Amino acid sequence: MALKEQDKSSIIRHSLAHILALATKRIHGPRVKFGTGPATENGFFYDFELPRPLSKDDFGKIQAEMEKIIKENIPFREKDLALKKSQDFFKKAEQPYKLHLLKTLAAEGAKKVTHYQLGEFSDLCTGPHLKKTGEIKIGSFTLSKIAGAYWQGNEENPQLTRISGLAFADKKALKKYLAWQEEAKKRDHRKLGKELDLFVSSDLVGPGLPLLTPRGSIIRMELEKFVIEEEAKRGYLRTFTPELAKVDLYRKSGHWDHYQESMYPPLNIDGEEYVLRPMTCPHQFMIYNSRPRSYRELPLRYAELARQYRKEQSGELSGLIRVMEFTLSDAHIICRADQLESEFRKVLELVQYSMKTLGIKDYWYRFSKWDSQDKEKYIDDKKAWDDTQSSMKIILDHMKLKYEEGVGEAAFYGPKLDVQLRNVNGKEDTAITIQIDFAMPGRFNMHYTDQHGKDQTPMVIHRSSIGCIERTMAFLIEQTAGAFPVWLSPVQVKIISVGKAHVKFCEKLANELTENNIRVETDLENETVGKKIHQAITEKVPYIIVIGDKEIKSGKLSVRDRETSPSQQTGEKTRNIKKTKFIKEISEKIKNRK
């Protein structure tokens, strides 16, 4: 059902590309040269060579012409032509790009091609299209962008003009998308990160190397504290392992063969090759291997907040997501085969608890399998893959977990359960993974002595609890639009003085709250209260306390809550509350991570 709807909107979008082409031809005449015009994820575009440069100012006229074409209810007529006939047609029409396409088709051995005729515009295209233009709803689409685009994406070809549009099933859906896009722009973590002074970047340091300011660092430390506390409760042991290691280590682990393209180049130090680690697993395995292990010690759950280095396209580096180094809430559970299922279940419980604590509700699971064709990415051992994948399937089915399947999404050493979510731009992202590893315990000769005194190879689960700290921060910024829950807010309470007479009281109050482990800032500047409140609202502080004569006399605090406001803005409503009660209230929230 979902798929059919998607097909339908793809047909609408594709048809709109033709309508755009026809409208452009009508307005700008026979000198327009046509490139191609496909449907896109949320709309369509067409590339043109135009007799004169256009701008967004021309959109009104083009859009009006498109709507006219829709009202004319013109049919799309399909017609098969011999290649030669098509060539003659476009030669006559002086359409060099279409001729270029035909040349390619001819080289591929095509004898026939399909044309679509829409009124006076005939396009080389295989469809499918709508039957008639009248099927499109006026108001369901809009032109959105004009930009240069090289013919066939090749910089050595001529640059054409690409006119793009957005198109949805109806006017309401389009409006919703536009509003959401507007909101996404506002919520972009790079924008908010700067506005709320959470992190900065520096050309001198480099792209993809964000620097967390004191405010951003508070969020990070709260997240780390959560991970450490929660993992301790669940029996994890912590490690600190180095970020550099000999290349030899990754030769042995298999990273060098299967993961090298994601690794930075090696460093030659005094004749030995070292590399920045892309993963923590082999490091923690060295701790496991540092002494003999007994079956009674297992499971061993080694956790680390591990800085890692994986190569990204340098052109794509930005914000907290596309980064050169990141910190993973990592762990490796080394267990016996009979413990695998219960350990997997416990990991999933921790992941679900983490998502709940972070306020993430919209997520789903993907069972990520190997691609037997991809010999470069994956260890080539069919039996091991089949065994591990079916063990994992049994575990997932026992847990009655619903999941999608993702072929070619596994780690090189085993299948994964991925926790998927959609970021603010609507893109799907993997937040957390739980992996079963059939390869490394053997490669590293990991052993334990079973109850009969025999050597056994343990199983390993690779997992994260809240994923990468940086990425999680970015997600939280976008999800909350910077209005973080109290426990994560860099400043939890802002105290504002009405006048000079109230400064001392404010300072005393601030000290008292600080002593109760509440993060406070005072604004004692010689400004109007309105201006100071406005500033605190901009900073999205959860609680604003204004101190004037009335408050000092009454002994009650006048608190403006961010939460009571529908726009998530602080300070629209005021309530009076005893100081002790307020401290208790906020302390509860902090303690319970609300």
Nearest to 550 by CA among 529, 534, 568, 569: 529
Give the binding range for its own copies (CB under 8 A) out of 162-170, 200-208, 475-483, 496-504: 200-208
How far apart are CB 317 and its own copies at their closest, in Å? Answer: 10
Strand (E) or helix (H) holding 330 = strand 326-335
Please give the size of the binding site for its own copies, defined by CB under 8 A: 54
Min dist CB 264 to its own copies, Å, is 6
Q: The tokens of 321 are what? A: 């997501």
What is the footprint of its own copies within residues 256-315 (CB under 8 A)? 264-265, 267-270, 272, 274, 276, 282-283, 286-287, 289-291, 302, 307, 309, 311, 314
501 binds its own copies (CB under 8 A): no
Site map 314..333 versus its own copies, x via CB under 8 A: x---------xx--------
Q: Does the protein bind its own copies through residue 238 (CB under 8 A)?
A: yes
Please say which residue, 221 or 401, places its beta carbon nearer to its own copies: 221
Provide, rounded to whole angstroms, the least separation between the CB of residue 247 and its own copies: 10
Does 26 contact its own copies by CB under 8 A? no
Given a contact cutoff of 8 angstroms between Cβ atoms, the answer to whether 53 and 28 are in contact is: no
| Position among 11, 27, 237, 384 found at the interface with its own copies (CB under 8 A) | 237
CA–CA dist 482, 94 (Å, integer)? 55
Q: Which two tokens stand for residue 232?
A: 């301790």
Q: Give kind and range of the element (H or E) at residue 297.
A: none
Q: Label the pairing between strands 404-407 and 141-150.
A: unpaired
Cα–Cα dist 419/466, whole Å: 10
DSSP 8-state class, residue 163: E
Cβ atoms < 10 Å from Cβ of 176: 12
In the bound complex, what is the minimum distance in angstroms from residue 246's beta carbon to its own copies? 5
The answer to the question of residue 248 lying near its own copies (CB under 8 A) is yes
- Read off φ and ψ for residue 519, nearest 5 degrees: -85, 115
Q: Which amino acid is at 449?
A: T
When the beta carbons of 209 and 337 are compared against its own copies, the nearer one is 209
| CA angle in degrees (0–180, nearest 5) for 475-259-257 | 170
Residue 328: both structure tokens together: 């993973």
Q: Which is nearer to its own copies, 90 or 309 (CB)?
A: 309
Closest distance between its own copies and the C-beta of residue 184, in Å? 25
Q: Does 448 bind its own copies (CB under 8 A)?
A: no
Q: Which one, 224 or 561, has the nearer CB to its own copies? A: 224
Please report how close the Cβ of residue 346 comes to its own copies at its closest, in angstroms: 18
Indicate the residue among 213 and 564 with the shorter CB distance to its own copies: 213
Contact assessment for residue 492 and residue 590, using Cβ atoms and an 8 Å cutoff: yes
Minimum CB distance to its own copies smaller for 164 or for 284: 284
d(CA 284, CA 460): 11
Stretch 203-222: interaction string toward its own copies, x if CB under 8 A? -xxx--xxxxxx-xxx-xx-
Which of 321, 325, 295 minimizes the C-alpha distance to 309? 325
Given the complex with its own copies, which of 194 and 393 has the nearer CB atom?
Answer: 194
Helix (H) or strand (E) holding 246: strand 244-246
Place of tokens 């080694």: 302
User: Helices marked H in 289-415 — which ranges?
Assistant: 340-357, 382-398
From the list 51, 242, 408, 426, which residue makes contact with its own copies (rule: CB under 8 A)? 242
Least distance to its own copies, CB of residue 553, Å: 30
Using only C-alpha atoms, the chain has a radius of gyration, in whole angstroms, of 30
CB environment 249-284: b (16+ within 10 A), e (fewer): bbebbbbbebbbeebeebeeeeeeebbbbbbbbbbb
Cα→Cα distances 262→136, 153, 255, 437, 541, Å? 46, 26, 9, 19, 40
Instruction: Give whichever of 385 and 413 is closer to its own copies, judged by the CB atom.
Output: 413
* Cβ-based nearer residue to its own copies, 159 or 262: 262
Tell me which of 64, 110, 179, 200 binds its own copies, using CB under 8 A: 200
Residue 117 has what DSSP assignment? E
User: What binding mask, one character per residue, do residues 154-193 give for its own copies by CB under 8 A, x or -?
Assistant: ----------------------------------------
Whose Cβ is closer to its own copies: residue 162's or residue 447's?
447
196 binds its own copies (CB under 8 A): no
Residues that bind its own copies (CB under 8 A): 197, 200, 202, 204-206, 209-214, 216-218, 220-221, 228, 237-246, 248-249, 252, 264-265, 267-270, 272, 274, 276, 282-283, 286-287, 289-291, 302, 307, 309, 311, 314, 324-325
